Amino acid sequence: MPEFSFVARDRQGRNVRGEIEALDPIRAVRRLHADELTVLRLERVRELPWLARVLQPIRSELVVLWLGQLAVMLEAGIPLMRCLEALASGAAGPERFRKPLRRLAVDVGSGYSLSQAMRLAPEVFSPFVVGSVRIGEVSGRLAETLSNCAAHLDKEHVYSLRLRAALIYPATLLGCSGALMLLCFIFMVPRFLELFGDVQVELPWPTRVLLETSQALDLYGPVLLATLAGPTLFGGWLFGRWARTRPGRWHLEGWLLRIPWLGGQVRRRMLAGYFRSLATLLRSAVPLMVSLDVLVQSLDGEILRATARFQQAAVREGATLSSGMRRSGFFPPLAMEMMRVGEETGNPVPMLERLADFFDEEMTRGLELLSRLLEPVVLMVLGVGVAFLLLAAFLPIYRLAESF
């Protein structure tokens, strides 16, 4: 269902900001009027198409630099509007990055909160950034939250660089091997067909598999490709539409969590973001129930939001946060035990921060493990492929020689 950001005025004359789901703007206005709110501004929250993210990506270094500069200016006591105007006029980078920043200053000046204005620019600010800013607005520590968000994005950028570096060598090997296989099917296998087509010698099974695969690709490959291209593209479009819905995001995150190694990395990232956000709110003396409510609105994952709702319900029933964590089934035993100790000391914030740092370090260790294991696995796969090609090429020659 579409979502709209609004600025309204209640019966006491106070400005109210937020988001509302409705089928169209007219129904959104009616729902706000039913809540005795006078709508001052309403704008639909758009979602950035995946094609735009692929073809026109904005480098994360630019966003990290902008967030860090905004945090420094706010810490210096400069008003938010002056910060946004100054950064919009002096921002570096392409026009597709500077234009949303200029619009951001206009939106904040017209009544939107900073998180709302950021949410209207999805091409620049991810849901994680928007949620972090909302947490900073509620906690009153916007400058600190922006600084932490910039540091987190910088860590993720370094992590992505390390991941790419770990995948370059295996990807190069796989690419070269794929090109070699293609050349074999184009040039070598037809020669085999000509050489052994008229010879009354039983071919070994590796050679038969190679020849039959080559014949099948030659006969049915173009037809199969043309037949599957349309349904595949249409299915991908439908999957993208479904993945942007709440049930779609929920199931997609669940599937990602089940993938070996990747699921562990995704879970660690979720846990680090959850604990760091909760620590920021509790450090600012925001009540626990209010903190969990803010997390429900601010976290960038459906599973995390559902976990926060479960925590909220458990705490409302009188249970401790660690007991709610145990009931949810999403948190590892280490996190639950450390949270229980933090509650016993009366100050869970240090434990939450340690847990966030711990899971960040675990992500780095997981990447190092991948880089150590991936190379020998790829070499083994390539060795098996090369051995199969050699057997398919030379075994019939040996049998042909033995027949004379």
pLDDT in tens, 89-100: 877 777 778 888
Mean pLDDT of the chain: 79
pLDDT for residue 113? 85
Residue 324's pLDDT is: 78
pLDDT of amino acid 198: 58
- What does the pLDDT read at residue 57? 60
Which of 103-112, 157-166, 192-201 is the most confident on average? 103-112
Range among 34-43, 136-145, 163-172 rated most confident: 136-145
User: CB under 8 Å to 197, separation ≥6 — which residues?
Assistant: none
Residue 283 has a pLDDT of: 79
pLDDT value for 294: 80
Asked whether the beta carbons of 250 and 326 are under 8 A apart, the reply is: no
Cα gap 324→136, rounded to integer Å:
25
List the CATH code of the domain at 1-45: 3.10.20
Has this prediction a pTM greater than 0.75?
no
- Please report the pLDDT score of residue 269 as a whole number: 84
- Whole-number pLDDT of residue 320: 80
pLDDT at 54 over 60: no
- Provide the percentage of residues in the chain whose pLDDT is more than 70: 89
| DSSP result, 74-128 | HHTT--HHHHHHHHHHH--S-HHHHHHHHHHHHHHHTT--HHHHHHT-TTTS-HH
Q: In the predicted model, what is the mean pLDDT of residues 192-201?
A: 62
What's the DSSP call for residue 202? P
Pick the closest to residue 276 from 159, 366, 117, 156 (CA basis): 156
Q: CB-based burial of residue 399 (10 Å sphere; 0-12 exposed, 13-18 middle, 19+ buried)?
A: middle
As a whole number of angstroms, the distance between CA 307 and CA 9 comes to: 32
Distance (Å) of CA 397 to CA 184, 190, 206, 382, 403: 17, 15, 13, 23, 10
- Residue boundaries of the structural domains of the chain: 1-45, 257-361
More confident residue, 218 or 266: 266
Q: Which of 14, 43, 13 is nearest to 29 (CA)?
A: 43
**In terms of CATH, what superfamily is 257-361?**
Type II secretion system (T2SS), domain F (1.20.81.30)
What pLDDT was estimated at residue 404? Answer: 59
pLDDT at 200: 61
Beta strand pairing status for 3-9 and 38-45? antiparallel
